[in-house]
């Protein structure tokens, strides 16, 4: 019989909690402090429902054209989209708080059955200040992440499903419309020119990321091994010299190399011509294939120092006893490197290599400040995609130069969909991740 009463009471608590936030706390548990806090949250939510309905309706329509009104009085679709996203997040947070209120009521009822009495105001206040302290302590950080990370990401992704582009759909002069998957259809085959540009840029992005990571890693690794095995007394001096390219800001380095490799008046071409090595200037940044080779080489010059330091530290961590045992067994220097040094260094640095690869896919500065995405190719006039453009620099050109924010957002969504699972999968497959060691 007691079990039935407890079951019935538990049902009352659950029903009252679902009916209105804090109702079970006030009516049955006499926990007036928590009940009033939860009830106030729902009352505020209910008070803003008419405003939220209007905002959600604006999110659905993104405004209507009003050419007869001054520009500042017309519907601004981007503001409506932004306000709608924030409103939806507020609604989700409200339902999360609703869940918390129901869970809190049922927990309080279980405690009541154990201790045999309802909590007083002091005990309720102690629960809020102690038991809920982690939640309230993390709440400011959570809100910052939501409004400064999550909202911009959702906004950018949402633009990919609109026609937000010049010249006919730029706010505030014109409104923006939802177009569904039309932007993705155009990029993936709806328009042959755009589809070819996407294929070319995507392929070069992957090739660039692989070459940029591999050349910098092996370049730095080789230098680190040479400095370690040569055992010269001034090795720290050379190490300090080799780190200079990494110490100089990459923007400055790329801009300097851009001037040095200029096809008309660059120092490199002029010096080679003065020495009689070449008769005509070399289009270092003017020919698509040569420009891509040049970009990889300059990135190697700027980035090998990082991996030199990284692999030097990894080799230092390898016990000398392993090398001594290998030498006793008759292994030569190459065998020691192939069987001991290289596998152990790869084991320790593989997560960082994966991170470097994903970084190079979005390495905006190395391309933009050296070539600006140039040279021009057949479809550049229409798509703005140059011969050395990677996806991230192409997005910049689409948004800044062509003002095709919808296509830029569609490319950003594509990068995220492809890159995030790829990075997670590759990192989780590394031996160091599976064994929980670095």
Give CA–CA dist 29/124, Å, rounded: 11
Task: Give the CA dihedral 11, 13, 14, 18, nearest 10 degrees.
Answer: 140
Cβ neighbors of 230 (< 8 A, separation 6 or more) are: none
User: In this structure, are 161 and 230 located in the same domain?
Assistant: no
User: In this structure, are 159 and 231 located in the same domain?
Assistant: no
Query: What is the pLDDT at residue 159?
Result: 96
Which residues, given as ranges, of the chain have pLDDT below 70?
A: 1-8, 115-133, 422-423, 425-438
In sequence order, what are the beta bridge partners of 162?
Answer: 178
Residues 174-207: pLDDT tens digits? 999 999 999 999 998 777 889 999 999 999 999 9
Would you say 333 and 340 are in contact if contact means Cβ atoms under 8 Å apart? no
User: In this structure, are 275 and 323 located in the same domain?
Assistant: yes
CATH number at residue 407: 1.10.3720.10
User: In this structure, are 80 and 128 located in the same domain?
Assistant: yes
User: In this structure, are 405 and 264 located in the same domain?
Assistant: yes
Domain edge (last residue) among 119, 149, 179: 179
Query: What is the pLDDT at residue 235?
Result: 76
User: In this structure, are 129 and 254 located in the same domain?
Assistant: no
User: In this structure, are 174 and 193 located in the same domain?
Assistant: no
Query: What is the pLDDT at residue 267?
Result: 92
- Alpha helix segments (H runs only) across 164-287: 182-185, 192-230, 235-242, 244-247, 250-260, 267-274
How buried is residue 403: exposed, middle or buried, by Cβ count under 10 Å (0-12/13-18/19+)? Answer: middle
In sequence order, what are the beta bridge partners of 165?
Answer: 404
- Alpha helix segments (H runs only) across 62-150: 77-115, 121-126, 133-145
| Structural domain boundaries enclosing 324 | 185-435
Give CA–CA dist 410/398, Å, rounded: 11
Query: What is the pLDDT at residue 301?
Result: 94
User: In this structure, are 322 and 419 located in the same domain?
Assistant: yes
Which tokens hold the place of 295?
């970009």
Give CA–CA dist 382/253, Å, rounded: 31
Domain edge (last residue) among 125, 158, 179: 179
Query: What is the pLDDT at residue 176?
Result: 95
Closest among 168, 178, 183, 180 to 414, alpha carbons compared: 183
Q: Domain count for the chain, please give it.
A: 2
Dihedral of alpha carbons 430, 431, 437, 438, sign: negative
CA 39 to chain centre: 38
User: In this structure, are 341 and 244 located in the same domain?
Assistant: yes
User: In this structure, are 175 and 239 located in the same domain?
Assistant: no
Query: What is the pLDDT at residue 7?
Result: 47
User: In this structure, are 262 and 277 located in the same domain?
Assistant: yes
Domain edge (last residue) among 179, 200, 235: 179
Query: What is the pLDDT at residue 182?
Result: 93
Query: What is the pLDDT at residue 123?
Result: 65
In sequence order, what are the beta bridge partners of 178?
Answer: 162
User: In this structure, are 229 and 103 located in the same domain?
Assistant: no
């Amino acid at each position: 019989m007691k079990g039935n009463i407890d079951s019935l009471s538990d049902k009352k608590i659950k029903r009252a909690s679902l009916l209105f936030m804090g109702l079970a706390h006030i009516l049955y548990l006499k926990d007036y402090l928590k009940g009033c806090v939860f009830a106030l949250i729902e009352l505020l939510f209910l008070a803003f429902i008419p405003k939220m309905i209007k905002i959600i309706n604006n999110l659905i329509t993104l405004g209507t054209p009003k050419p007869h009104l001054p520009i500042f009085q017309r519907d601004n679709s981007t503001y409506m989209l932004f306000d709608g996203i924030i409103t939806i997040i507020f609604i989700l947070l409200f339902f999360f708080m609703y869940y918390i209120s129901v869970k809190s009521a049922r927990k309080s009822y279980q405690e009541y059955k154990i201790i045999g009495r309802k909590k007083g105001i002091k005990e309720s206040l102690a629960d809020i200040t102690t038991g809920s302290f982690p939640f309230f302590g993390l709440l400011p950080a959570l809100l910052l992440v939501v409004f400064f990370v999550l909202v911009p990401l959702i906004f950018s992704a949402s633009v990919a499903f609109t026609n937000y582009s010049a010249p006919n759909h730029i706010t505030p002069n014109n409104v923006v419309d939802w177009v569904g998957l039309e932007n993705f259809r155009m990029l993936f085959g709806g328009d042959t020119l755009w589809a070819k540009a996407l294929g070319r840029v995507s392929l070069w992005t992957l090739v660039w990321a692989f070459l940029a990571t591999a050349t910098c890693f092996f370049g730095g690794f080789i230098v680190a091994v040479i400095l370690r095995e040569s055992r010269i007394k001034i090795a720290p001096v050379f190490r300090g010299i080799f780190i200079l390219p990494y110490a100089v800001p990459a923007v400055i380095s790329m801009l300097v190399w851009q001037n040095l490799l200029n096809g008309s008046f660059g120092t490199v071409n002029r010096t080679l011509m003065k020495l009689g090595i070449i008769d005509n200037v070399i289009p270092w940044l003017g020919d698509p294939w040569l420009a891509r080779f040049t970009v990889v080489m300059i990135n190697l010059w700027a980035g090998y120092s990082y991996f030199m330091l990284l692999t030097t530290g990894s080799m230092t961590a390898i016990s000398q006893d392993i090398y001594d045992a290998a030498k006793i067994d008759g292994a030569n220097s190459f065998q020691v490197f192939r069987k001991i040094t290289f596998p152990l260094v790869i084991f320790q640095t593989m997560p960082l290599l994966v991170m470097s690869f994903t970084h190079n896919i979005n390495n905006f500065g190395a391309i933009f400040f050296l070539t600006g995405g140039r040279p021009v190719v057949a479809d550049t006039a229409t798509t703005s995609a140059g011969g050395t453009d990677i996806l991230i620099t192409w997005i910049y050109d689409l948004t800044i130069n062509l003002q095709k924010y919808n296509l830029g957002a569609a490319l950003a969504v594509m990068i995220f969909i492809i890159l995030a699972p790829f990075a997670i999968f590759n990192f989780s497959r590394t031996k160091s991740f599976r064994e929980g060691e670095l």
